[in-house]
Structure 1
Amino acid sequence: MDIAHQVRGSGPALVLLAGQSNSHLWWESVREDFETRHTTVTLDWPGTGESAKPDVPYSTRGFAADVVGVLDALGIERAAVYGTSMGGRVAQWVAAGYPDRVSALVLGCTSPGGEHAVERSAEVRRALAGPGAGRFLLELMYTPEWLAAHAGPYHTTGDPAMPAYARRRHLSASAEHDAWDALPGITAPTLVVHGTDDVFNPAANAPLLTERIPGAVMHLIRGARHAYFEEFRREASPLVLDFLDDRS
């Protein structure tokens, strides 16, 4: 499959993995935080951006194979992996399935999936399916104060050019994710990051991941919602960089 990818910066390789139904633009507002110390690699998930958009089943495990394929194409043997939201689900499979390729792992605002995960509430699900869903999604991503001060555009609410069938395929891939049994086999040093006020992917998933992955450490960002890495970048980016520097 043709997977578009982007490379910027210099230093040890760092793969940045975006959320569900989003292209590499998910990282655009904060990517520069990492570029002076890392060669950053992003990609457009199948169905998004400039990547191929086949109408076939997608899975987080399959997306992990796509990530490794991009690393192979770039000649990168080993990289740190930072995945957020669905990207964090994919990152779990990259670390579990390809341990020799991952030097360090950061899992942001994500979940182990399956029956052990803490799912969003029925109230949130109903609001996302009803009128005004677009505005509600923004409010799940950012605090009211941030939204009042930033008019957009926002790159965390989905690729607007994504075909409807691909959106459905992404939703299924994320919903069917279940890496619970694989998590104890992850050997990469792991940092779990989550906003305390995230109800889109409930913050209760962070300790589940931390306890399940050997040696993992957790950092909760107080007051942050799902897009903590953007709104709270002054805390989140240095946190991740310091973690990676200590393990490079």
Structure 2
Amino acid sequence: MTFKYRSDVTSGLLSCQKRSGCRLIAQLLVCSGLLVPQMLPVAYAGTVAWQDDMRCGSGAFRQDRQAGLKERILETPNGSIGYFRFGHGSPIVLITGYRASMAEWNAYFLSDLAKHHEVVVFDNRGIGQSQMHDASYSVRDLASDTAALLRGLHLKNATVLGWSMGGIIAQQLAIDEPSLISKLILLSSMPPGPRAALPPTDVDQALSGSGSGHFDHVMEVLFPTPALPSAKACFVHDMFAPVGYTEPHITDAVTHAQDLILRRWKQDNQALRGLDRVTVPTLILAGTSDEVLRPSNSVVLGHILPNATLVEVRAGGHAMMYQYPRQLADRIVRFIGTQ
């Protein structure tokens, strides 16, 4: 893999083959005031172009259709966590995003992961069966919930994947509890601190809205225009929908709490400093057509994290696990398999 600077400001200034040596030089330049943190080097694996592969409820194998798959409840000192667990192999724990439940995961994406790994998905606090005693919470509390799940299920050498806001929770977990994570995957997420780009106002309104036309508005911000017809036709059919699990209602209290988490993350300089010390191997996946959390967020994450690789997906939207369930799962499985 070629080591590159992924910044218009620094493009062509330096070319190195060894990431550790280049980063040390760059950090010395930061200390001397000759370089800003956002100009640090990025291990950039390039842009991939995948063909849209929405399954639209096809007859392909789905773990959520298997008999005996039931939601389980883990009781913790802070409350309960509802989760599903299936597949075989080293564990991968997936943290879902803003105003989302387990149902928002693409069933075929999860099923392909489960061919190689034990998959654990769960609802964040305040959603479904995940109900905590404290109604007010921060990103550190959500990270603590994930840590409680990892410990409670005795998961060793776990990969943690966070999508969107789930990537924020995963970053905080990596800062607070790095020993619990073997590999980190950040899918369509954003960094802490002032360089983060929050969702535009119209996008935020679409995601947090309700009523007539809400579904179409959400599809329009989750997917690029060429993928919209398939997304509108297939999204519901491809959602993770085990027998007996009903997609939970997202309350106004949860929406408010998660809004605060996003806004505070952009101001969280403590997390920004902590992330620079996270050495867990990290895969950053960004869709070039993501209108919710623009791909510049993932580039900044690649600048900050010392042991990260950035992969950009051409024409990928914010929910690109629906556009490319098999290809995305395959890329993740290959990353987990690397030493």
The answer on whether the counterparts of 2:276 and 2:304 sit within 8 Å (CA) in structure 1 is: yes
Distance across 2 between alignment mates of 1:21 and 1:124: 13
Does structure 1 residue 207 correspond to structure 2 residue 299? yes
- TM-score by length of structure 2 reads 0.67
Report how far residue 53 of structure 1 moved.
Answer: 5.8
- TM-score by length of structure 1 reads 0.89
Residues 116, 237 of structure 1: CA spacing in aligned structure 2 closer, same or farther, 3 A cutoff? Answer: same
CA deviation map 1:143-166 (0-9, x unaligned): 31322542625759xx55222222
Of 253, 273, 280, which aligns to 1:181? 273
Distance across 1 between alignment mates of 2:103 and 2:205: 27
Distance across 1 between alignment mates of 2:121 and 2:201: 33
The aligned residue for residue 221 of structure 2 is 140
Distance across 2 between alignment mates of 1:213 and 1:167: 29
Distance across 1 between alignment mates of 2:125 and 2:334: 31
Does structure 1 residue 24 correspond to structure 2 residue 85? no
Whichever residue aligns with residue 280 of structure 2, its letter is: A
The aligned residue for residue 328 of structure 2 is 236
The answer on whether the counterparts of 1:83 and 1:107 sit within 8 Å (CA) in structure 2 is: yes
The aligned residue for residue 224 of structure 1 is 316
More divergent stretch after superposition (66-75 vs 227-236): 227-236
Residues 174, 155 of structure 1: CA spacing in aligned structure 2 closer, same or farther, 3 A cutoff? Answer: farther
Report how far residue 118 of structure 1 moved.
Answer: 1.6
Does structure 1 residue 103 correspond to structure 2 residue 182? yes
> Unpaired segments of 5 or more residues in structure 2?
1-78, 241-246
Residues 129, 37 of structure 1: CA spacing in aligned structure 2 closer, same or farther, 3 A cutoff? Answer: closer
Q: Describe the SS at the equivalent of 2:124.
A: coil
Whichever residue aligns with residue 295 of structure 2, its letter is: A
Distance across 1 between alignment mates of 2:288 and 2:128: 30
Of 234, 247, 251, which aligns to 1:150? 234
The answer on whether the counterparts of 1:195 and 1:222 sit within 8 Å (CA) in structure 2 is: yes
Does structure 1 residue 81 correspond to structure 2 residue 157? no
Give the RMSD, CA atoms, in angstroms.
2.2
The aligned residue for residue 8 of structure 1 is 86
Report how far residue 78 of structure 1 moved.
Answer: 3.1
Report how far residue 83 of structure 1 moved.
Answer: 0.8
Larger Rg: 2
The answer on whether the counterparts of 1:196 and 1:225 sit within 8 Å (CA) in structure 2 is: yes
Of 142, 146, 160, which aligns to 1:63? 142
Distance across 2 between alignment mates of 1:8 and 1:83: 18
Distance across 2 between alignment mates of 1:3 and 1:34: 22
Whichever residue aligns with residue 90 of structure 2, its letter is: P
Does structure 1 residue 94 correspond to structure 2 residue 173? yes
Whichever residue aligns with residue 94 of structure 2, its letter is: L
Report how far residue 125 of structure 1 moved.
Answer: 4.0
The answer on whether the counterparts of 2:127 and 2:250 sit within 8 Å (CA) in structure 1 is: yes
Distance across 1 between alignment mates of 2:86 and 2:214: 34
Distance across 1 between alignment mates of 2:143 and 2:207: 27
Runs of 4+ in 1 over 6 A off after TM superposition: none
CA deviation map 1:34-62 (0-9, x unaligned): 11211111111111121116572222211
Of 220, 232, 256, which aligns to 1:168? 256
